[in-house]
Amino acid sequence: MYVNTGLKNLANCLLRHGVQALRWRGLVSGRIEPHRFRLYKAELLEKFSGDAGRVLDIGCGYRRYERFCRGSEYIGLDKDLSFRPTVQSVGEKLPFRDSCIDTVIMFDVVEHLSDVKEALRECVRVLRKGGSLVITTPNTWGFGFYDSFADRTHRHHFSWASLEKRLRESGLVVEKRIPLHLHIFWPLRRIHSKLLMPLQQSICVVARR
């Protein structure tokens, strides 16, 4: 499994060069090895999108998660036509009728939006009753601090509390909090998950309409 390989690389790097080297290697920031986080997010998508229905990927980019929507109708939405999205639009203006989507995913998108409130309102509008929104973003108050502020395209910065507050204000029910673990904390994830939650590099929240 990729987790075991990551732990081996982490241990070797730590023994040779110390903690600072982890930042250079991208094992703490996650910037150099983003495929690990994509794999984890893909697993989340398979779990929460179900075996049928319509999945809307807002800010789909190269549509990396399409192949994980087995048994579902995938709709990739992006404002950039060079990515060849299914639909060209922005998150604040979804060109769909009310209550027609089963799952909305926003993977590292919400921090880029010009109007978060309007985008979440649109998600609620297009989601069917009982539908899910799976959303991830860097954790500004944890080890995602660097990722959150280093990218100048980020217009917003979130903690667990501030993101969940936004979701509740939009009318969604926060159902599950899923930490996207730092590799250095992976062996401790079961024992100290509650203690480490505020420090996790990325936030992932599943909310229901």
Residue 67: inside a domain, yes or no?
Answer: yes
Residue 82: inside a domain, yes or no?
Answer: yes
How far from chain centre, in Å, is Cα 20?
A: 26
Q: Which residues pair with 200 in a beta bridge?
A: none
Residue 102: inside a domain, yes or no?
Answer: yes
H/E run at residue 15: helix 2-17
Structure tokens at 32: 């150099």
Q: What is the CATH number of the domain that holds 49?
A: 3.40.50.150
Rounded to the nearest 10 degrees, the angle between the axes of helix 34-49 and helix 2-17 is 150
What's the start-to-end Cα distance of the chain, in Å? 34
Residue 140: inside a domain, yes or no?
Answer: yes
Residues spanned by the domain of 148: 33-208
Give the whole-angstrom CA distance, residue 98 versus residue 126.
5
Per-residue pLDDT of the chain (209 residues; tens, 9 = 90+): 333 443 344 344 333 433 333 333 343 343 434 555 566 666 666 666 655 589 999 999 999 888 878 778 999 999 999 999 999 999 999 999 999 999 999 988 999 888 999 999 999 999 999 999 999 888 876 555 556 556 676 777 888 899 999 999 999 999 988 766 554 444 555 554 555 556 566 788 999 99
Structurally, the chain folds into a number of domains equal to 1
Residue 202: inside a domain, yes or no?
Answer: yes
